[in-house]
Structure 1
């Protein structure tokens, strides 16, 4: 009774699992000869007999394959005919060739670089040459305003202003101690953090606009564009200076702490959060000014401008690193003005309407 139950269980298991992991064939002859034949036909395999419901001397031969589980579909020669197996191999080969073509290789097939499998539209520059950047498009490029006032400073008056000012001053001390005069690496590392406030502020204002069913007054887009601009600063300085392993580790720690700290600060007081960013941008202007001084002294080599910077800021072809630092500093000055200006609008709603008792104009124009 026990042996019959065990046989039924074994048959049930082999019925469900067998097609995936084993190759089965019906043997109608001597057991030893069949095992030898199967052993020679299936390389690296071992054969075993399992008694089944076959009549007479018929037995089920199970071939145990020494192959990975993922390759079990192509492992058994008995399960698939030779013709079918060749077709499977051709399909695999065609799939690998298609993957190579998608990466730019293959047999001259067109590469489709899109998640949806749709070939992207061809974008060209004004001179007709092909646009090679995916992180930004020609209509997102611009010429920086170098005439912006770099010496503008917001004197801390209120308590929150003083908290923001001295917080930024306190953060600058360890930064100066760590980077010292390595301004190229300093700029690259700080841009990994500078792009956080705009994204956090834009995200929270976006959610606030959804909750209150009201317009944003243009501030969501302004803050997200600020975050994107800071990220492009990072992409540019990555071409100039490569971070070391411990500096990459530092980015994880600093960005993680700063993101959460700024997120909570923005929830508690958006005015304080924007004032902190305004003072951070003032420090960035100072750092890039020192960067320019080192370039003029010859301490830092004035290498040609990276191609991504030439296209993003519409710089001349013969631009240098000094020209890049100039436009980046102008961007930081713009962010400084926007964030200080946003702090003064703390008592206004997102849509820019005038609050009760205010003498400010009804319409607010973004800087």
Structure 2
């Protein structure tokens, strides 16, 4: 491991791993510094601990609190993970060709069948009209606004299902993790595009208004009809794929510069090649994520209609049948999905 006078503890190793870092890729000076700081933060003196957590009252702003970080906060630092299994399994940084080979199914469209499907489809089509009028071909700014909205449904669905699980004293069936992961993934999209577009104050104000309106509207919709809410998200993701595909065409036609000025956040998150990563690579990676959310939310809506919302048995069955130990994409389709889905170019 590391040859130094400082002992690297299991705690330090776990903190670095959970934060998405690997000791072999980090300078030894960083490891030593991190271990020293972690030890300082988590090993407080009894008197100081008593003053903060004991019966002694605290008045004003006690800066000692900043040095009393509980060890658990360091141990379980969460590092966002991508949603595509191809990215999670990749041992080498992904290049343009790898991203182009991702199975996105650009033309896949879920035909609306029930009245709730048709309502969801019309809602999404109506939402696209002002977006097309306002942004036109300003695709980076459109992406910021799109991801502001797209990051809401997963959190809303996860929150409502979490509360229902507590209220009914029963397992949620495996949905909460998936929904919160979706929200986190969309948030990473937003953080990436904001670093590229650097929105102005009026744009930030518009984002705040749209987010507030959409959050409350979607919350109400999810309470009234979860299947319609998930169908809305499925159709939103279909439209997102259309937008990102148009974005790609503008880059390939030379109308938008295929810059290499990609944020480190995006390179680390999607495991892109830091020497060759371009705007096109980023758009390809984001579009692939949207395809996963499209399939997942349409599948969730189907499961609600069928009255079988527990994912655990079906996921276990798929893993048991699989001969591969690789991570499987569980955003699959219902058994009769072939009759409900069609290709629409």
* Normalised-by-shorter TM-score class: 0.5 to 0.7
CA deviations over 1:16-65 (Å, ceiling 9, x no partner): xxxxxxxxxxxxxxxxxxxxxxxxxxxxxxxxxxxxxxxxxxxxxxxxxx
1:1-367 pair list within 5 angstroms = 121-122=15-16, 124-125=21-22, 127-129=24-26, 137=79, 143-144=86-87, 146-304=102-260, 305-317=262-274, 318-346=276-304, 347-348=306-307, 350-352=309-311, 366-367=330-331
TM-score between the two structures when normalised by the length of structure 1? 0.61
Q: Displaced runs of 4+ in structure 1, greater than 6 A?
A: 138-142, 360-365
Q: Tell whether the 8 Å contact from 1:214 to 1:351 is kept in structure 2 after alignment.
A: no
Q: Distance in 1 between matches of 2:220 and 2:258?
A: 41
Counterpart-to-counterpart distance in 2, 1:236 and 1:353 = 33
CA shift digits 1:239-285 (9 cap, x unpaired): 21111222111111111111010000000000000000000000000
- Distance (Å, rounded) in 2 between the aligned partners of 1:278 and 1:285: 11
Q: Structure 1 275/237 Cα, relative in aligned 2: closer, same or farther at 3 Å?
A: same
Partners in 2 of 1:308 and 1:361 — Cα distance?
A: 31
SS at match of 1:153: strand
**Shift in CA distance, 182/343, structure 1 to aligned 2, threshold 3 Å:** same
* 136-145 or 299-308, larger mean C-alpha shift: 136-145
Higher helix share: 2
Task: Report the Cα distance in structure 2 between the residues aligned to 1:238 and 1:127, rounded to whole angstroms.
Answer: 31
Aligned to 1:25: none
TM-score by length of 2: 0.64
The answer to whether the Cα contact below 8 Å between 2:83 and 2:289 also exists between their aligned partners in 1 is no
2: CA distance between counterparts of 1:352 and 1:330?
Answer: 23
Note the aligned Cα RMSD (angstroms): 3.0
Change (3 A) 1:278 1:129: same
> Is the 8 Å Cα contact of residues 198 and 224 (structure 1) preserved in structure 2?
yes
1:122: how far off? 4.5
Max Rg structure: 1
Higher relative contact order (CA 8 A, sep 6+): 2
Query: Structure 1 residues 223 and 364, CA, compared in 2 at 3 Å: closer, same or farther?
Result: farther
- On the 8 A contact 1:236/1:306 being kept in 2, the answer is yes
Cα distance, 1:306 vs structure 2:
1.8
1:148 shift after superposition: 2.9
The 1:241–1:139 alpha-carbon spacing in structure 2 relative to 1, beyond 3 Å, is closer
Q: Which residue of 2 aligns with 1:83?
A: none
- How many pairs are equivalent? 243
Structure 2, gaps ≥5 residues long: 1-11, 35-75, 88-98, 320-329, 332-345
What's the secondary structure of 1:259's corresponding residue?
helix
CA contact (8 A) 1:265 1:272 kept: yes
